[in-house]
A and B are shown apart, each in its own frame.
Chain A
């Protein structure tokens, strides 16, 4: 017989018939495959909730449970009236609950640019991209009425919304709301600044730019 299985190597020595070996191999492979498949599901989809995962245990289908009304988490008892409501003794306050440092204003600018510019635009003139697409225009921050509004008013508007503007309380922390209010103040100043507001040391820079601009304009035919 010229056609034979090479029984000698490995398999034959163990005294297991090739047929059985084959069967075992298959069984092993099959078993591993089944086990692997089992493992995949077990470990890939574990019996735990990930953020936002739906649940069929609770009636509303949400795995994250709303806080029981009236419950206060440790460290969440908001007793500081000014910091959390923008008011003092019930009156809208013009004071900031903490001093506005440069870092606070930088943070305020960042938050303002994320959450407010779509409508109020980068300078606060109320002509943002969404307004250009048909959103009712908000008032400019440079109107006298808003320049005279107390800082707490901006805090309140972000917290509670105003007219057709929704509340941003869910997305902007109270401290950041104050920083945005501080930044709006800075914006308001920037649009109404006079030369005397600029530190003496920096005034030369302004005139420098001016002469450059004039030189440029003169060069145009």
Chain B
């Protein structure tokens, strides 16, 4: 893990930032403090205001309300060309009439870096993204992944205080995307550049970030580490958006000690909780066992390294994922019992947001 982000002095701060287009609210009440060296992802469905927020940080859009500070300095009055941020656009936005090297050199020319140093830094930047030997290519003669690397090199070579990435990998095919994710993370770790990544791909956000900002309809739903947001989602939206989850209708029964009961499965209930509740458990945290919530396997799908089971239970449908460990698995139509550890579930209901049962 990166040094605990929250304790460090924030590099970039967004304070109750909002943006309205006409009457339409695109971003509302966006507050975030980014520490030096942190990798942050803005994650959310299409149209939730990710790009709008990024463009406000970059300076291409002026916030309707709120302030943005970089190293304590108010950014709102600073022209985009003076902010010193590195940006990789979704369309890459390479200069088509320049070669890869010229593209990368452009920002250094603007900073009036001497020719000798420029040449050296361009060479190093292209080498860093694995494009040595492509200096004289024009963008139109490069593949999507190569163009993406040029765009990354171009943004990084100016040593930006913050790197902004707007869905930089969404145009790549799945395999290349995975490779680039690993590479992006490595480069970011090596350089220590503070990075904000916009994405609607939850795996990308989970695998790359120190912290994830989950957004919905212009609002922040949750800010937390990937593990936090995945295992302790703050809302039903976050739970649904970050991977599959099973919601079971359960009840709190008895008093001192009260127990949470879902069919044949039960566990000690947190203090003060009563009545009907919804518990949610990730598919990979449910196992088949001797006792627990009774159900029946409705469908079974083989997916290579794991099995996917669709089960029906008296508390609602359930999805179960089991690793393909070579052991015998229940077949379709078989009666099973589902069980999970109490710490693997989160309890939501009646406006009450409780974390995992301790």
Please say whether chains A and B are actual partners in one complex. no
Give A contacts to B, CB under 8 Å: none
